[in-house]
Structure 1
Amino acid sequence: TELYNPWPGVMENAPASKGYAGGFGVDLMLKDLGLAAEASMHARATTPLGELARNLYALHSAQGHGTLDFSSILKLYHQPR
């Protein structure tokens, strides 16, 4: 969080302060989480938190946020009042 804070307004140059534009996209994170899940399956390892993260990123992408920076996942938890 010191180099790439996901909260808007904390770091001027972080994607969070630019409407989550740029950076490493949600869809790319979802792809990588899928690759990690596949690798864990081949290794016969269980990764429950990895699967949870994958499901959350899939939901976030399905809501139309696939091109935003991966830190925009905070939008699932924080709804401005």
Structure 2
Amino acid sequence: MTERALSIEWCVKNERFGTREAVEKAVDASAIRRRYACLDLCEICMRKPFAVIDNHVVTSDDATALRQALLCRRRA
């Protein structure tokens, strides 16, 4: 059985919270990574780090917690 590639997306403006680094540390090279100018999740984006992994929004209080949340979500 072939595994489906993981898809992860985030907003460029959210990178100020360390989102990009959290994503890079949490997912392997086979994951599909997409940076967008905007994902229309502005209420989340302006307040805390977040990413969308396989169409599910994952948020946290900081980049370290986001990395952990992404690792947990990836295993689910």
Q: TM-score, normalised by structure 2?
A: 0.28
Q: Which has the greater radius of gyration?
A: 1
Which of the pair is proportionally richer in helix?
Answer: 1
Which structure carries more strand by proportion? Answer: 2
TM-score by length of 1: 0.27
